[in-house]
DNA sequence: TAGAAACGATACCCTCGGTATCGTTATGGG
DNA sequence: CCCATAACGATACCGAGGGTATCGTTTCTA
């Protein structure tokens, strides 16, 4: 078997991810070199390349392993309220320095098809699936209609957030989130809201 | 005066922009080198750097000078119809190879604050201003309400287009555009549509 | 305890954006 | 008409950075 030899250092693995997260969140992907990440982690450059095939994959893993759960759906009394709160979480995430991770990866993905696929498969689609299930729960609860295209609705909900993050056309503040949520509600709520 | 000496070659200027547009539309910003652009234009590299300070600015100018008018607002019977048709134009533009220019510039702007400012000032904001005037015309015509935040509405209209262009989460096809337009209308149309 | 593989360090390669400098060429003010 | 001036194409060069190769050393397991 391939089980012989010195094992990979989990400490080095974790230190590299942590260093990559810190540096890229603070200064952005392009401004940080692989040498810096390795030095910050107290590790040789070659150790980094033994664990990951390239710089972008390190940052992708840092995003998923260290802060992937930061935008999970919060518990709430209704599916709609959970959706609304998740929008606020996503906005806070985008406003924070960690938003730089998303900006960096989307930027690199424009010229790196493998990274683009990985970003969709590992970050975007799982989150979209969460939103889809939430919306379907809201439909089951009778608070949303059932006759709209869910994918398009998700794009309209989250597209404007990514737009402001990447284009910097305006603040991702509470007013903006509330307006976006209300606009979604206006177009998709059930005509007769179920009451109890 | 500084009017002495050999004048700048307008032919070289135009050839460089055309070469940059062709190559970047086909293969993307990062995959095309400055040497290639100059060679394709039949020009020395230094001539390029005499006309522009860096690679990104060349592509920015190519976008504005060669295809800036491609997404102007079409004439129509009503402001709303003009807006709807402009969405279709923008979608066709994003679907075409020229969409690579936008993807490239947004990508580079993530690590180049000057480019980010130029992209907003020269591309985004003028187009947003056109949308704003169109929306205000629609309000004046009585087909839209007057009590919503126009900037947020613009982000919701166009944000999902940029989202699909940059994230590749779905096709920017007619169905998507129509759904997006209808969702905007549902949330912002006047309660009593004016008829004649 | 011996072989295999990961470790940190470091030298190296290659591409590419941008600069410097060459001799040459086109202009326009005097 | 002619000469100072600046742009021209070509080419050598610089520096940064991603990724590789190789060193002697260390740590594991069979």
* Residue pLDDT, tens place only, A68-88: 888 889 999 999 999 999 999
The residue whose two tokens read 């522009």 is B52
Structure tokens at B95: 């679907």
Average pLDDT, chain B: 95
CA distances to A12, A45, A55 from A52, in Å? 12, 11, 8
- Alpha-carbon distance of A161 to A87, in angstroms, equals 9
Is the pLDDT reported for residue B183 higher than 60? yes
* Distance of C1' in D2 from CA in B1, Å: 20
pLDDT digits 0-9 by tens, A13-31: 999 999 999 999 999 999 9
Helix (H, G, I), strand (E, B) or coil at A3: coil
At residue A71, the pLDDT reads: 85
Asked if A50 CB < 7 A from strand C, the reply is yes
SS (H, E, C) chain B: CCCCCCCCCHHHHHHHHHHHHHHHHHHCCCCCCHHHHHHHHCCCHHHHHHHCCCHHHHHHHHHHHHHHHHHCCCCCCCHHHHHHHHHHHHHHHHHCCCHHHHHHHHHHHCCCHHHHHHHHHHHHHHHHHHHHHHHHHHHHCCCECCCCCHHHHHHHHHHHHHHHHHHCCCCCCHHHHHHHHHHHHHHHECCCCCCC
Report which residue is nearest nucleotide D8 when distances run from CA to C1': B47
A 99-138 → B contacts, CB under 8 A: 103-104, 106-108, 110-111, 116, 119-120, 124, 128
Structure tokens at A68: 């992937």
The residue whose two tokens read 């095309």 is B32
| Residue range B66-73: mean pLDDT, rounded | 90
A159/chain B closest Cα distance in angstroms? 4
Q: Do B28 and A110 lie within an 8 Å CB cutoff?
A: yes
Longest dimension (CA), chain B: 67
Is A31's Cβ below 8 Å from some Cβ in B? yes
If one looks up domain A72-188 in CATH, what number appears? 1.10.357.10
- Alpha-carbon distance of A112 to A99, in angstroms, equals 20
Average pLDDT, chain A: 95
Is the pLDDT reported for residue B196 higher than 70? no
CB atoms within 10 A of CB A78: 12
Least Cα distance to A128 among B178, B158, B169 occurs for: B169
DSSP track, A8-45: P-HHHHHHHHHHHHHHHHHH-TTTS-HHHHHHHHT--H
The CATH architecture to which B10-65 belongs is: Orthogonal Bundle (1.10)
Confidence tier at B141 by pLDDT (50, 70, 90): very high
Q: CA triplet A18, A21, A26: central angle to 5 degrees?
A: 130
A131 neighbors A159 (Cβ within 8 angstroms): no
A61-68: long-range contacts, CB 8 A cutoff, minimum separation 24: A61/A17, A62/A17, A62/A18, A62/A20, A62/A21, A62/A24, A62/A101, A63/A21, A63/A101, A63/A102, A63/A105, A63/A123, A64/A122, A64/A123, A65/A17, A66/A17, A66/A18, A66/A21, A67/A21, A67/A93, A67/A98, A67/A101, A68/A123
Nucleotides of D under 7 A from a protein CB: 4-12, 16-22, 26-30
pLDDT digits 0-9 by tens, B99-108: 999 999 999 9
Nearest CA in chain A to B100: A110
Under 8 Å CB pairs connecting chains A and B tally to: 130
With a pLDDT cut of 70, the percent of chain A lying above it is 96
At residue A195, the pLDDT reads: 46
pLDDT digits 0-9 by tens, A113-133: 999 999 999 999 999 999 999
Q: Do A160 and B164 lie within an 8 Å CB cutoff?
A: no
The domain ranges of chain B are 10-65, 72-188
Q: Do A110 and B164 lie within an 8 Å CB cutoff?
A: no
Is the pLDDT reported for residue B71 higher than 90? no
Is the pLDDT reported for residue B195 higher than 50? no
| Residue range A96-109: mean pLDDT, rounded | 98
């Amino acid at each position: 078997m391939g089980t012989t030899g010195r094992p990979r250092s989990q400490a080095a693995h974790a230190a590299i991810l942590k260093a990559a997260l810190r540096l890229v969140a603070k200064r952005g992907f392009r401004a940080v070199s692989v040498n810096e990440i390795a030095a910050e982690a107290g590790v040789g450059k070659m150790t980094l390349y033994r664990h990951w095939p390239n710089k972008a994959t390190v940052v992708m893993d840092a995003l998923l392993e260290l802060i992937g759960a930061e935008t999970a759906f919060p518990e709430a009394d209704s599916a709609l309220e959970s959706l609304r709160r998740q929008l606020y979480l996503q906005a806070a995430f985008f406003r924070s320095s960690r938003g730089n991770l998303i900006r960096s990866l989307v930027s690199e993905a424009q010229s790196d098809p493998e990274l683009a696929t990985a970003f969709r498969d590992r970050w975007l689609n799982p989150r979209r699936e969460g939103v889809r299930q939430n919306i379907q729960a809201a439909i089951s609860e009778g608070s949303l209609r059932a006759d709209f295209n869910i994918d398009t609705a998700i794009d309209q909900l989250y597209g404007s957030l990514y737009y402001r993050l990447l284009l910097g056309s305006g603040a991702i503040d509470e007013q903006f989130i509330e307006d976006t949520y209300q606009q979604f509600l206006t177009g998709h709520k059930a005509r007769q809201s179920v009451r109890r």
